[in-house]
Amino acid sequence: MEYLLHILILICIYVILSLSLNLLVGYTGILSIAHAAFYGVGAYVAALMALRLETPFLLNIILAVSAAGVFGAVVGIPSLRLKDDYFVIATFAFQIIMFSVLNNLVEFTGGPLGLPGIPQPNIFGYEISTHIEFLILSLLLTGLVYWVSNRIVKSPFGRLLKSIREDEVFVKAVGRDISGAKVKVFIISASLASLAGVIYATYITYIDPTSFTVMESIFIISIVIIGGAANLKGSILGAAFLVALPELLRFIGLPNSIAANVRQILYGALLVIMMMWRPQGFLGEYAFGKSSEDRRQKLEDRSKRGNDA
């Protein structure tokens, strides 16, 4: 039973991460591989505050979200001026820097040894320690993130984001501030991701830098793409599927020595297969990987051919 609850809590963490990344990758069409870094910011801020200053859990949440937001602004404002691949490289750089900082700032972050003994959350005197209590906390925060994301994508701001994804030039020509909107959504995405970090740190009670590497970022991107870019329910489905998959594989009785490798092969194969046959993912509305310019051209050609001699 505890095992099942553990898996559900992990799924919640990845739902938060993929929902927040979907705002960026799916809705706005900008690919960031720094998402694990913001996840890490959340985890480390919550852990350090609780360990060093013994601040209350709810305050730590606010501090983690704000810190990730500030980092989001610091990274986003200069790097969102870059286009496509160059932006990806800029976020990659931030991801690497963040890992190095966590790994080398030993007095502060514990370096590779990490931070053990993180206190469990205490909300107005109520200690959260059992699996079921953690699951409830995770579900509440996941619900909050879903609610925020849903409001955003259904608002005129969501329409603006989708339009930027489809044709930046047109959006510019009708007078919208593209960089402003991108920076905004980048900060929101980073802030929401930090919530996953807070849950992770207080649930596992131990963090070290290896949980927040570029591999983790890529895993979150896989969830978004396989679940379906620009579809919030897709992110939930994708997270549940990709987190539960290796657990299910445990039961088919592979020897431990090769199970890990088989898992990696399966992930890779799955991503390739999805890209080839269903680039929009399980539930997505937007085929990731084709540039907006390609899709624009294709639609324009089709509409030219289609009608009006």
Pattern 230-269, binding to another protein, x per CB under 8 A? ----------------------------------------
Stretch that binds another protein, among 80-88, 148-156, 201-209, 212-220 (CB under 8 A): 148-156
Residue 81 near another protein by CB under 8 A: no
Cβ neighbours, 10 Å, residue 65: 22
Interface with another protein includes 182 (CB under 8 A)?
A: no
- Which residue's CB is nearer to another protein, number 12 or number 164? 164
Give the range of 82-90, 105-113, 114-122, 170-178 binding another protein by CB under 8 A. Answer: 170-178
Q: Does 83 bind another protein (CB under 8 A)?
A: no
Among 117, 125, 175, 253, binds another protein (CB under 8 A): 175
Instruction: By CB under 8 A, name the one of 36, 188, 274, 283 that touches another protein.
Output: 188
Q: How would you label 195-212 residue by residue, b for 16+ Cβ within 10 Å and e otherwise?
A: bbbbbbbbbebbbbbebb
**Among residues 125, 156, 253, 255, which is the contact residue for another protein, using CB under 8 A?**
156
Cβ proximity to another protein, 41 vs 185, nearer residue = 185
* Matching residue, tokens 């991701």: 193
C-beta closer to another protein: residue 35 or 165: 165
- Closest approach, Cβ 166 to another protein, in A, equals 5
Among 155, 210, 261, 291, binds another protein (CB under 8 A): 155
Residue 269's Cα: distance from chain center in Å?
22
Considering the rule CB under 8 A, would residue 160 count as an interface residue with another protein?
A: yes
Chain residues binding another protein by CB under 8 A are 148, 151-152, 155-157, 159-160, 162-163, 166-167, 169-178, 181, 184, 188, 296, 299-300, 302-304, 306-309
